[in-house]
Amino acid sequence: MDDYAIGVLTNIGLISFLALSAYLLLIAGEMSFGQQAFFGVGAYAGGMLTSMYGWPLPLAALAAMALGALAQFLVGLPTLRLRGLYFAMATLAAAEMARILFELFHFQRQVEGEPVGPDGSQGFRGIRWVFAHGVEPLEYMGIIYAMLALALAAFLLVERSRLGATLRGVGEDPQLAASLGVDVNRVKLGAAAAAGALAALGGVLYAHHNTYIEPRNFDLMLGVHSLAYALIGGLGTALGPLLGVVLDIGALEGSRIFHGYRMIVFGGLVALLLVWRPRGLLDERSVQWLKRRFS
Amino acid sequence: MTDLAQNTLDGLFLGSSYALLALGFTLIFGVLRRVNLSFGPAIMFGCYAATWVNLNFGVGLMALALITVAGAVLAGAYVERLCFAPHRNGSPIAAMVASFALWMQFEELATIALPRHIYDFPPLHGGTPLEFGGLMLRVESLVMLLAAIVMCAVLWGILYRTRFGVALRAVIDQPQAAQLAGIDVPRVFVLTFALASAIGGLAGFLIAASHEQVTPMLGMWSTLKGLLAMMLGGLGSLPGAVLGGLALGLLEAHSQWFLGPQYRDLLAYLLLFVLLAARVPWMTTRSAS
Amino acid sequence: MAKTTFFLILSLLPGLALAQAPKADFSCKATRTDFIFDCTIRLSRGGKPLEGATVTVGADMPSMPMAHTVKPVKAQPAQAPGEYRAQPDLEMLGVWAVKLRLAGPVRDQLILHYEFDSKGATPVRR
Amino acid sequence: MSALLEIRDLVTAYGKIEALKGVTLEVQQESITCLLGPNGAGKTTLMMSIAGILKPRQGAIQFGGENIAGRPPHAIVAKGIALVPENRLVFPTMTVLENLQAGAYQQGDKKTIAEDIDRMFVRFPRLKERIEQQAGTLSGGEQQMLAVARALMSRPKLLLMDEPSLGLAPLVVEEIFRIVTDLHRDGTTIFLVEQNAHMALKVAQHFYLMEQGKVSFSGTPGALAEDEVIRRAYLGSSKT
C-alpha cells in the first residue's frame, strides 16, 4: 500500500473514534456539538506526556482517556438534564471555550535544549514519540485499527447486554426509563464519560500521527462532522458511524474523482440520503431486519 | 468615561447585526422547530454572489444589497426544499444535519467561485468616520443600527398588523390548530423561510460592508453569532432574539476593550454555558427537543 | 509481526529517546497551472545538510485536517546537497499545514505553515 | 333530507397499523350525528381523516358533491368543514380575540370578521369577558368554548367535534351540550365524537358505534337499549 492509501486509512481510523463518541451520546438521547474538545484534550494531554515527560505512548493514552472522561463528565454534570438543542448548544459553548483555552495555553519545557510543549496558537510541535521509536506508518495504522476494534468489540458487547438496552431506553424515552427504576442521569453521565474517553483516545492517536497539533484542528467543524457521520451511517449499530466516515473520507477523499468539488458532492449526497433514510443507512429498523435475516 | 460610551456605542452597533441574525434564526426556529445550520452560509452565498457580480461588472451599493438579499433568499429556498420540507414531520436532527451538509456545499462553492481567501467589499461610506462629542461613529454602524430598528418595526407590523402575521403566530403557537383554522401551513413555512433569509441577507450585506471584506468564514461566524444571540435571548422568542443580540454585542464590545478578542469570545461562550446550566427561566420555557 | 511485539515491549520503557530533530526551510513559486507550486526544500540536521533522504510533501487544512488532505508527492533530490524539489497540487489557496515526511537515513515528519497565494508561499507566523 | 357527508370504505393507517379498516357512514343535513366507541376504536383518526390532517390510504369522503379524501386541511376548511379537535388546541400565547381572528383566516373581508366575532360573543358571553386574555390562561370549559367559536369563525356547513366534554366538570359539560343543541337549532350540521354516551344520545338524531376501526352499529337513539349501547361503547361487543 502506498503512503497515500495508508494516510487515508489512518485518517478514517482516527475520525472514527470521534464518530463513535458522538454516536454513543446520540443513542443515549443527547446531541453533542462538542466531542472535538475532548478529542483535543486527549491530543494535548497525550502529546505533552510523551514529548515533555517521556511517558511511553500506551501509558500516556490511558492517562489522556481518563482526562477526557473526566472533562466530559464535568461538562455533562450541569448540562445533562437539558434536552435537545439546549444540550447541543451547551456542548458547543464548552467546546469553543476549550478551543480558546488551547489558544491561550502556553506551557513548555526544555527537552534536549529545545522548548517542547504547547505554545498557544502557534500550536504544539514535535510530538515525535512514534518516529523516535521507529514505528512505520503501516504499523501505526495497525495500532489505530487494533484500538478501534477494541472499542467496536466493547460497543457490540454492550449493545447485546442489558446495559445496551438501558442506554437506548434512556435515549428514546427518559421518562419511561425512569419509571422503570433506571437512574437516567447516572446512565447519561456514564455514557458521556465513556464518550469523552473514546474521543480522547482518538486525540492521542491523532497527535502522535501528525506530530503537530494546534487549536484550530479542534474547531466546531470537526464536532458537527462527527455528529453527521454518526447520523449518516445510521444509529442502529456502532458500525453505522464508521460507515459514515468511510463514505466521506474513504469514498470521496480517497477516490479524488470529484477533485475539488468533493464537499459539494458529499453535501448533496448526505442531504438526499437523509431524505430517504432520516435515521441513517444502518438505522435501527434495518439492523433488526438484518439480525432476523442472518440469525 | 468616553471609552465606556464608545464601547457601549460599538456594542449597540455590533449587537444590532447579531440581533438581525438572531431574528432570522428565531423566525425559522419558531415556525419550524428546527435549527437551520445553513442560515449563515446562505448569507455568505448572498455576499459572495454580490462580490462576484461586483468584481466582474462593478455595480452600485443598492444593487449589491439587492443581489446579497436575493442570493440569500435563493440559497434559503434551496435549503428549505432539500432539508426542511422533506423532514416536516420527521426528525429534527436529520433536518439539522442535512442543513449542515448544505453548509459544506456553500462553503466549497464560495472557495471555488472566488478562490482568494479574502475579497474586498465596498463600505457604505468610504470617508472618515463621523465624530460628535468625542465619539467615533462609522456610517456602516449607524446604518446597521437603523436597519435593525426598522426591521424590528417591519417585523412587528407584519406579525401584529397583517393576516400573514396572524397565520405566522398561529403556526408558531400551535401548528395543528393553525391547519384546522384553514391556514396553509406549508406555504407559511416557505414564506417565513424567505422572510428570514431576506433579513439574513440584509444583515450579511451590512456586516460585509462594515468589515469591508468577505471571507469563507462569514458563514461560520454568522451562524455562531446568530445561534448564540438567539439562545441568550430565549429560544424561539422574537423580542428575545433582539435583546439577546444587543446583549451579546454589548458584552463583546466591553470585554474586548478590557480583555482582548480571545477572552471576549471565551466570556460570551462562558455566559451561554452558565445560563444554560443554571436553566434560567427565559431560556428554557420553550421545549426544543 | 515480531517487530510489533518487540516494539510493544520497547514502548513500555520510559525515557526520552528523541533523536536529534531535522530542520527544513521551504519556499515555493506558483506555476502556470492553478494550485500547483514548484517548491524547494533544504534539509539539515545538527547544522549539516541531510542528504539521501526520501522526502514526500503533503499538506492538510488547519481546520478538519483529517478530511482535507492533499495527495502527497515525492520530492526529487536537487543539485545542492540536502536540497530537494517537489510540485504539490494544493486544490485550494489559503493557509496550508505543509507536511514533510522523511524516510531513509532519518525517519521523521515536519509540519510547516504557509499561506499559498497566486504568486507563491509565505511562512505564516500567527 | 340528503346526506351532507358520505364516507365509503375509508382506510387510514399509521405506517403498517390500520386504524380505520374500511369505514362507511353518513351525516344527514342539519342533523346531530354522534359517534360512540371505546378508546382506540379509531374515532379521532376518522375525524382527522375528514379534516385532512391525516391522509386516508383508501376510500372516499363525499362532501358537497366532491371527494375531499386526501385534500390538505386548508382546502377542506375552504369547502366548509371545521373540526374542533380533541383537547381543544387553542393558540395559548395569543389572546381570545386573536384566536378568533386566526379562525377567520380564510375570510378576507374585515367587516364580516368583526360581525362574526360579535356574534361569537353573543353566543359565548364568557369569551367576551376574557377578550384580551391569553387563551392559555382560560379554564378548560372556556378553552373548549373558544375552540368551538374559532371553528365557527370559518362559517362551516359541517362542524366536527372531537370529544368536547373531555376533562370538563359536569356543570360545564351541561353547558357544552346546550351550546351543541343551540348550534343545531340555528341550522349547523354537527358530527359529534363523544365518550359521554348518555349525554350524546340525548341530543343526537342518529348515532354510530365504532370498534377496532369499523362501524359496528348504526341507528337512531332508542334503537338499541341505552345500557347495551354503553356496554358496547365502553367494553366493545366481543363476547370474551
* Count of structural domains within chain D: 1
Nearest chain A CA: its distance from C12 CA (Å): 6
Q: Residues D82, D154: contact at Cβ < 8 Å?
A: yes
Q: Is residue D189 part of a domain?
A: yes
Q: Which residues of D9-31 are buried (b: 16+ CB within 10 A; e: fewer)?
A: ebbbbeeeebbbeebebbbeeeb
Q: Residues A85, B288: contact at Cβ < 8 Å?
A: yes
Range scoring the smallest mean pLDDT among C96-105, D52-61, D230-239: D230-239
Helices B163-173 + B2-32 axis angle, to 10: 80
Q: Is residue D132 part of a domain?
A: yes
Q: Residues B39, B25: contact at Cβ < 8 Å?
A: yes
Nearest chain A CA: its distance from C17 CA (Å): 6
Angle, CA of B88, B93 and B95, to the nearest 5°? 45
When pLDDT is averaged across residues C40-51 and rounded to a whole number, the result is 86
Q: Which residue of A lies nearest to C16 if distances are taken between CA atoms? A: A54
Beta bridge partners of C112: C98
Q: Is residue D197 part of a domain?
A: yes
C107/A54 touch (CB, cutoff 8 Å), yes or no = no
Q: Which residue of B lies nearest to A274 if distances are taken between CA atoms? A: B94
Q: Return d(Cα B67, Cα B1) in angstroms, integer.
A: 41
Q: Return d(Cα D23, Cα D7) in angstroms, integer.
A: 7
**Residues of chain B neighbouring D150 (CB-CB closer than 8 A):** 177, 181
Q: Is residue D240 part of a domain?
A: no
Name the helix (H) or strand (E) containing D211: strand D206-211
Give chain B's mean pLDDT: 89
Q: Is residue D142 part of a domain?
A: yes
pLDDT at position C5, please?
Answer: 57
Q: Residues A261, A251: contact at Cβ < 8 Å?
A: no
Q: Residue C69 — φ and ψ, nearest 5°?
A: -110, 160
Q: Is residue D53 part of a domain?
A: yes
Q: Is residue D46 part of a domain?
A: yes
**Residues of chain C neighbouring B219 (CB-CB closer than 8 A):** none
- CA torsion angle for D211, D213, D216, D219 (degrees, to 10)? 100
Nearest chain C CA: its distance from B160 CA (Å): 44
Range scoring the smallest mean pLDDT among A175-189, B264-278, C4-18: C4-18
When pLDDT is averaged across residues B28-54 and rounded to a whole number, the result is 91
Give chain A's mean pLDDT: 90
Give the tens place of pLDDT for each residue, D73-110.
Answer: 999 999 999 999 988 899 998 999 999 999 999 988 88
Nearest chain B CA: its distance from D82 CA (Å): 7
Q: Residue A263 — φ and ψ, nearest 5°?
A: -65, -30
**Residues of chain C neighbouring A55 (CB-CB closer than 8 A):** 14
Question: How is chain C classified by DSSP, letter by letter?
Answer: -HHHHHHHHHHTS-S---PPPPEEEEEEEE-SSTTBEEEEEEEEETTEE--S-EEEEEEE-SSSTTTSB---EEPEE-SSTTEEEE--B-SS-EEEEEEEEEESSS-EEEEEEEEE-SSBEEE---
B181/D83 touch (CB, cutoff 8 Å), yes or no = no
pLDDT at position C12, please?
Answer: 59
Cell of C101: 515526511
pLDDT bucket at A254, cuts 50 / 70 / 90: low
Kindly give the residue spans of alpha helices, DSSP state H, lying in A28-136: 35-53, 57-79, 84-104, 129-132
pLDDT bucket at B288, cuts 50 / 70 / 90: very low
Give the tens place of pLDDT for each residue, C48-63.
Answer: 888 888 898 988 887 7
Range scoring the smallest mean pLDDT among B18-22, B26-30, B281-285, C71-75: B281-285
From residue C122, give the alpha-carbon distance in Å to each of C70, C97, C117, D51: 19, 12, 8, 67
Evaluate if residue D46 carries a pLDDT over 90: yes
Q: Residues A56, C11: contact at Cβ < 8 Å?
A: yes
More confident residue, C73 or D230: C73
What residue ranges define each of the domains in chain B, with the CATH number in brackets? Answer: 2-283 (1.10.3470)
Give the tens place of pLDDT for each residue, A210-253.
Answer: 999 999 999 998 999 999 999 889 888 899 999 999 988 877 66
Closest partner CB to B101 (pick from A90, A93, A228): A228
pLDDT bucket at C4, cuts 50 / 70 / 90: low
Q: Return d(Cα C15, Cα B228) in angstroms, integer.
A: 46
pLDDT bucket at A114, cuts 50 / 70 / 90: confident
A58/C11 touch (CB, cutoff 8 Å), yes or no = yes
pLDDT at position D118, please?
Answer: 93
Evaluate if residue B132 carries a pLDDT over 50: yes
Task: Provide the whole-model pTM.
Answer: 0.85
Q: Return d(Cα A84, Cα A76) in angstroms, integer.
A: 14
Q: In the structure, do chain D and chain B come into contact, i.e. share 3 or more CB pairs under 8 Å?
A: yes
Sequence-ordered list of residues with C-beta below 8 angstroms from that of C27, at least 6 positions apart, any chain: C39, C40, C120, C121
Nearest chain B CA: its distance from C95 CA (Å): 9
C65/A112 touch (CB, cutoff 8 Å), yes or no = no
Report for C45-49, D135-139, D230-234: range of highest mean pLDDT: D135-139
When pLDDT is averaged across residues B195-217 and rounded to a whole number, the result is 91
The CATH number assigned to the domain holding D36 equals 3.40.50.300
Q: ipTM of this predicted complex?
A: 0.81
Q: Return d(Cα A162, Cα A152) in angstroms, integer.
A: 17
Place of cell 417585523: B155
Per the structure, the complete domain to which residue A219 belongs is given by 3-293
A267/B103 touch (CB, cutoff 8 Å), yes or no = yes
Range scoring the smallest mean pLDDT among B27-36, B148-157, C102-111: C102-111
Closest partner CB to C64 (pick from A58, A221, A256): A221
Q: Is C91 on the interface with A (CB under 8 A)?
A: yes
Integer-rounded Cα Rg, in Å, for chain A is 19
* Count of structural domains within chain A: 1
More confident residue, B118 or D225: B118
A267/B101 touch (CB, cutoff 8 Å), yes or no = yes
Q: How many residues does chain B have?
A: 289
Q: Is B104 on the interface with C (CB under 8 A)?
A: no
Give chain D's mean pLDDT: 89
Report for A278-292, C100-114, D146-160: range of highest mean pLDDT: D146-160
Beta strands in A83-235 (DSSP E): 109-111, 114-116
The CATH number assigned to the domain holding A206 equals 1.10.3470
Burial of B189 (0-12, 13-18, 19+ CB in 10 A): buried
C92/B115 touch (CB, cutoff 8 Å), yes or no = yes
Q: Which residue of A lies nearest to C91 if distances are taken between CA atoms? A: A260
Q: Return d(Cα D230, Cα D240) in angstroms, integer.
A: 17
pLDDT at position B284, please?
Answer: 64
pLDDT bucket at B287, cuts 50 / 70 / 90: very low
Closest partner CB to B176 (pick from D77, D82, D85): D85
Evaluate if residue C116 carries a pLDDT over 90: no
Cβ neighbour number for residue A53 with a 10 Å cutoff: 14
Give the tens place of pLDDT for each residue, B153-204.
Answer: 999 999 989 989 999 999 988 999 999 999 999 999 999 999 999 999 999 9
pLDDT bucket at D152, cuts 50 / 70 / 90: very high
When pLDDT is averaged across residues A98-106 and rounded to a whole number, the result is 94
Place of cell 452597533: B13
C92/B111 touch (CB, cutoff 8 Å), yes or no = yes
Per the structure, the complete domain to which residue D191 belongs is given by 3-235
pLDDT at position D240, please?
Answer: 42
Q: Which amino acid is residue D206, in one-letter code?
A: H
pLDDT bucket at B118, cuts 50 / 70 / 90: confident
Q: Is residue D136 part of a domain?
A: yes
Give the tens place of pLDDT for each residue, A13-63.
Answer: 999 999 999 999 999 999 999 999 999 999 999 999 999 999 999 999 999
Q: Which of B86, B75, B88 is nearest to B39 (CA)?
A: B75
More confident residue, B123 or A205: A205
Greatest extent of chain C over all pairs of C-alpha atoms, in Å: 52
pLDDT at position D238, please?
Answer: 59
Percent of chain D with pLDDT over 70: 96
